[in-house]
Amino acid sequence: MQGQWLLVEREQHLLAAGDKTYTGVSLRRTLDPVGRAILMPELKSAAQRTTDTALEVSYDSRNWVVRTIPIIAPQSGEITAVLGIYVEAGDVLPGAPIVGSWEWEVSPPGPNQTMRSYWDDEMFEIYGIEPTGHSSGRGAWPTPQWFNEIIVPEDRARLRIMIDEGISAVTPELHTLIYSVVTGSGSSKPGRRKLRLSGRAHKDASADIVWLRGITHEISDHIDESTPGLTAALTDDFLRAAFELATDVALAAVDTRYWHVYMTSPGWEAAGLATITNGSISSLAERTDIAELEQFLLAAALSPEVAEKPLVVKLQTAPGAYKFYSVRASGLRSGSEKNRYVMMRVSPL
């Protein structure tokens, strides 16, 4: 692997070497003898410091240059991964790949629940978004907002499940996920990019908060994912197709634990409904109807059967403007979570 940038996560499992992607395999077993001798020690050392290094070493009667770059979490400052490479002295070092670091901060469910994302500068570069104008120079976003604006519809449920599995398990297990995003969100020339994230969950000892920390990088080859519960969500493409075809029906997928609306059909705007910009169900219903709508959806999440009697509530059509709509709902089974997700259909009266 001489002359190739290696990406290892904080526990020293290999995630990528050059253009080839790995599933967190053993670094020692994958490296050649030279790499084991001169690169492995530097990768381990780099996981304990926050500065880049470039060293000249001698091994096997030759001189080598070893370079390491720690990937630092934007909020906590912890090391989430390390990039490393070795070449013979005098050889040109190739440019390092772009690897973004992120943290998701998730408080317990409830009326004051928050879910926020923190990005480093490389995450903004990967997503093709200017960091100016956001709530933090390090990229603090309300998670539902970027989730709905950047993640392609067919991958939202799978990413949602990965977040849920990490929060629920709070184990040292490495979670990985391949997903696609719309780059340059809000620009006149948006694009599309296939990415992979890798991360682990951590429980804050001083507060009832779960942190998910990890990295994201662009990939070109396919690789199997290693997050529990994702197999059950691989029908998302069918869900995506159904949503895209629902041009005359207003559908929405809702997570009733965090009241996050993470998918809406093209028929949503056709029904005169306002765009849910922050992803929250509370921004959809009139304040006096929010509790009733949430109770209706909670009851619907318990069963795949559609309730016989629809709920009539006032929903937002424009800022400060509301009209009566009929709401029907059915529970969804997704991953290891039951009685949580619900699909609702909204019809104008």
Q: What percentage of the chain has pLDDT greater than the value 90?
A: 39
Note the pLDDT of residue 235: 47
Average pLDDT of the chain to the nearest whole number: 82
Taking only the tens place, the pLDDT of each residue in 194-217 is 999 998 888 777 667 888 899 999
Specify whether the backbone of 145 is left (phi greater than 0), alpha (psi in -120 to 50) or beta: alpha
All domains of the chain in start order, with CATH:
6-95 (3.30.450.20), 100-233 (3.30.450.20), 237-348 (3.30.450.20)
Q: How confident is the model at residue 168 (pLDDT cuts 50, 70, 90)?
A: low
Note the pLDDT of residue 237: 58
Note the pLDDT of residue 228: 46
Contact 86, 68 (CB under 8 A): no
Q: Which amino acid is at 185?
A: S
Q: What is the pTM of this model?
A: 0.71
Rounded Cα distance, 144 and 181, in Å: 14
Q: How confident is the model at residue 277 (pLDDT cuts 50, 70, 90)?
A: low
Least confident of 38-42, 172-176, 249-253: 172-176
Q: How confident is the model at residue 71 (pLDDT cuts 50, 70, 90)?
A: very high
Taking only the tens place, the pLDDT of each residue in 106-162 is 776 655 666 778 899 999 899 888 776 554 445 555 555 667 778 887 787 777 777
Question: DSSP characters for 44-83?
Answer: HHHTT-SS-EEEEEEETTEEEEEEEEEEE-TTT--EEEEE
Q: Which has the closest alpha carbon to 118: 99, 96, 134, 97?
A: 134
